[in-house]
Amino acid sequence: MPLLELQQSLISALFQRDQLAEAAKLVKAQGSLSSEQRVGIYRNSTHGILLDYLESLYPVCLDLVGTEFFGRTAHSFMDQAPPTSPFLADYGAGFVTYLAEHPALQDMLWIVEVAKLEWARHAAWHTVNQVASDFAQLEGLSAAQQAELRFQLPASAHLISSSTPIHSIWLAHQEEYPDKPRLEEIDLQEAQQVLIFREQRRLHQTTLSADDWAFLNTLQQQATMSELAEQFAEQLPWLFSVAMQEGWIYSFTTD
């Protein structure tokens, strides 16, 4: 049997329980272990590692739905959407959609919103570093170039607009915050806009005012300085001041 077929057969057995017997035909039995049991060891260990990983990725969801439900859902997710990248950190984005479609969560979709936030934190943490612009160079630009300026948020930035207070729910599950809100006191109907980004080895997560949210969203859609001036008028210098000081704007382009 060619190596590729052998590998594919084993992968099928790892993520599809009904393929286990097929792969076991390629494996010898030894001692008290049948060939199926020996392939099963690989299946269990792969699932175990991925479960640990998903639990570390979605700790607040895990708290909210409980170990048993999380485990069952995670195992069926793995079988439906096994990893396709050799880099483990790429895995798990689809878990959010999987939760969103889960029949048991249809009345608790706010939990899915929290999962979105947790994935954004993970993705922001694993974003490749980028080079920041030297803003002193803005001084030398002509008026025409100034009007065409576009600004970028950090590459790690995730802007999430949620119909549920995801930041407060997340905070309520953090042990190290002494003044954290209590989950039962949070109004689940309150909308929140959240920005997540990484600066060096620090992950920032903050709620945004409606004005800051609208501004950053427009910035992220690559509006030019002249379009920004049109949209935000006198507010613009102030919006930029806040965004620059908070580290929300990382670079600019004049093209």
Partner 1 sequence: MQNKQIITATLMAIGLSAALSVATAEDQKPETEKCAGIVKAGMNDCGANGHSCAGKAAKDSDPAEWITLPKGTCEKIAGGTVVKE
Candidate segments 2-10, 26-34, 47-55, 234-242, binder of partner 1 by CB under 8 A: 234-242
Candidate segments 44-52, 67-75, 99-107, 235-243, binder of partner 1 by CB under 8 A: 235-243
Enclosing H/E stretch for 12: helix 3-15
158-162 β-sheet, strand order: 158-162, 192-199, 202-207
**Which ranges of 81-235 does DSSP label H, i.e. alpha helix?**
94-101, 109-125, 143-147, 166-172, 210-220, 225-232
Residue 220 in contact with partner 1, rule: CB under 8 A: no
Select from 11, 3, 9, 18 the least CA-distant residue to 83: 11
Plot region of 165 (φ>0 → left; ψ -120 to 50 → alpha; else → beta): beta
Residue 225 in contact with partner 1, rule: CB under 8 A: yes
Site string for partner 1, 169-208 (x = CB under 8 A): ----------------------------------------
* Residue numbers 126-155 binding partner 1 by CB under 8 A: 135-136, 138-139, 143, 146-147
* Residue 89 beta carbon to partner 1: minimum distance, rounded to whole angstroms: 11
Amino acid present at 149: L
Q: Given the rule CB under 8 A, which residues bind partner 1?
A: 135-136, 138-139, 143, 146-147, 225-226, 228-230, 233-234, 236-238, 240-241, 244-245, 247
